[in-house]
Amino acid sequence: MNPVHLIDLHFQDTPGVIASYAFDTGDGLALVDTGPTSTLEALEAGLRDLGAGLRDVRHLLLTHIHFDHAGAAGTVLARVPAARAYVHERGAPHLSRPDRLVASATQIYGDQMDRLWGELQRIDPDRLTVLEGERTLKLGSTEVRALYTPGHAVHHVAYAAGDELFLGDVGGVRLAPTQTPRAPTPPPDIDLEAWRDSVERLRRLDARTLHLAHFGSYPNDPAHWEGLLTTMADDAEFVQAGREKGQDASRITAEFTERLLAQLEGEGADLPARFEFACPPWMSVQGLMRYWTRRETRAAPTGGDR
């Protein structure tokens, strides 16, 4: 396996928030996630630092289709006709027909869409390799295993190349070695049970290094996974406790944010500000509220049960 290079995308001019990873496959460069189109200049600058450019990219390994991970994929493919993208089958249609994805995001971000993410260009289906379940990709002289890892998103994929493991968001948000990993839980399809199953599968792999989109590369230490599972459960239980007390979403969000930022400040003075760029607490609350509502709906008796 050739060396892996982290490219800091300096999201919103802030270092250490969103990363893309590049490595040579023997058939051009592979990029694990592109970041949003708003950070494309930083991606190009990072490639130049490696003595390369977009022209050298042949493979876009997309962990999932959220804007901060795959927003620039269509633009990169438009500029590099020899490249193609790899994405899970449940995410692929949204890249080929992105109108619903853009409309949904616009409801959240409004007139900040362009500033935050930039354009999401449509991708011709012929430029996509659609992944189903687990699959081994032969990219030049490099074998890359695509691993289906739902939980953060129903279409989430991790990639294993040699002893390098690229985790997207399923490995959590960890902005410094001192920080305990936290689960990013934005809507719409957080599934904590599936996420725990994905973690159990990933932690059994013979990997040396974990590469996180948010942010950095860390040794594959059991403490990473234990920390992620613990904070995931604590955050979910905190939100549910607020719901059971009858608190509205705004109060739960305020208390969740205050608690989270205090915990992060105890792990590093610069962490709260960067974390709010990497994983806005209000979005995590929205996702967990939706998770608990859907879980209760599924558990409710139907008319035939009475």
Per residue in 225-241, pLDDT tens? Answer: 999 999 999 999 999 99
Query: Is residue 67, in this structure, part of any structural domain at all?
Result: yes
Domain that holds residue 197: 5-229
Q: How many domains does the chain have?
A: 1
Q: Give the DSSP letter of residue 55.
A: G
Tell me the pLDDT tens digit for each residue of 255-306.
999 999 999 999 999 999 999 999 999 999 999 999 999 998 887 775 555 4
Query: Is residue 295, in this structure, part of any structural domain at all?
Result: no
pLDDT band at 222 (very low <50, low <70, confident <90, very high): very high
Global pTM reads 0.94
Chain centroid offset of residue 194 CA: 15
Query: Is residue 221, in this structure, part of any structural domain at all?
Result: yes
Domain CATH for 11: 3.60.15.10
Q: Is the pLDDT score of 170 beyond 90?
A: yes
Sole residue written with tokens 């509502």: 293
Query: Is residue 305, in this structure, part of any structural domain at all?
Result: no
Find residue 131's DSSP bridge partners.
88
Query: Is residue 268, in this structure, part of any structural domain at all?
Result: no
Q: Is the pLDDT score of 46 beyond 70?
A: yes
Q: Output the pLDDT for position 61.
A: 98
Query: Is residue 163, in this structure, part of any structural domain at all?
Result: yes
Q: What is the 3-state secondary structure (H, E, C) of 120-152?
A: CCCCCHHHEEEECCCEEEEECCEEEEEEECCCC
Query: Is residue 273, in this structure, part of any structural domain at all?
Result: no
